[in-house]
Chain A
């Protein structure tokens, strides 16, 4: 069945380092992917998205890479800051799917 999974459940980085969070998806029909950040006790917040006609998209300090060949998505955070500590979810969907599929999440901890 459809699934979106993350390779690593936790990631610990030093402040100032770059972080890479990975995600695998299994539905080759998915054409829209989103990364969310969730702080403790709060709702997930949109970080960045990418459509399947792109391989890379950049935002402010964040970059999402999409490899459709191996069904892999990654989120890169440059110069990671303590405020980046949170759980990060990837989600995948496709037009008229009616719903999205979320991964279990990776907990990012930034050490000062």
Chain B
């Protein structure tokens, strides 16, 4: 079945460590997105990519990095510079750059220990 796969579902990070969240889609979508969601809050855009080898900062990009080497993959690295990384992270994709339905993965929980 087509969809977006995020892994791992749960991840624990020690302070000072970088961690990478995986996002893979087999929908042949051009655009991919990373959102952060804190408990009881809405979605905040971290980074997005409309085509391979190109990406743009969202509203809260500080402390995060991404790459888009393949159309189907858009990994997110949470760096040690992100001081409050504990959150629910959602990856999403759309067929085009705008005016299309966004499809979401099931999310990854990141906790700092």
Q: Residues of A at under 8 Å CB distance from B?
A: 31-32, 34, 36, 41-46, 49, 89, 91, 93-100, 102-105
Contact = CB atoms under 8 A, between A and B. Distances in A.
Given A99-B45, A100-B102, A102-B35, 15 more contacts: A32-B98, A34-B102, A36-B104, A44-B43, A93-B100, A94-B99, A96-B98, A97-B99, A98-B31, A98-B97, A98-B98, A100-B98, A102-B42, A104-B41, A104-B42
30 contacts: A32-B100, A41-B107, A42-B107, A43-B4, A43-B92, A43-B104, A43-B105, A43-B106, A45-B104, A89-B43, A91-B102, A93-B98, A93-B99, A94-B99, A95-B99, A96-B97, A96-B98, A96-B99, A98-B31, A98-B50, A98-B97, A99-B45, A99-B48, A99-B58, A99-B98, A100-B102, A102-B35, A104-B41, A105-B41, A105-B42
Interface in B43-99: 43, 45, 48, 50, 56, 58, 88, 90, 92, 97-99
Interface residues of B, number: 28
A52 to B, nearest CB: 10
B102 A43 contact: no
Nearest to A51: B99
Interface of B: 4, 6, 31, 33, 35, 41-43, 45, 48, 50, 56, 58, 88, 90, 92, 97-107, 109
B42 A94 contact: no
Contacts of B45: 99
A99 B75 CA distance: 18
A49 B106 contact: no
Given A43-B90, A43-B107, A104-B41, A98 B99 contact: no
B99 A99 contact: no
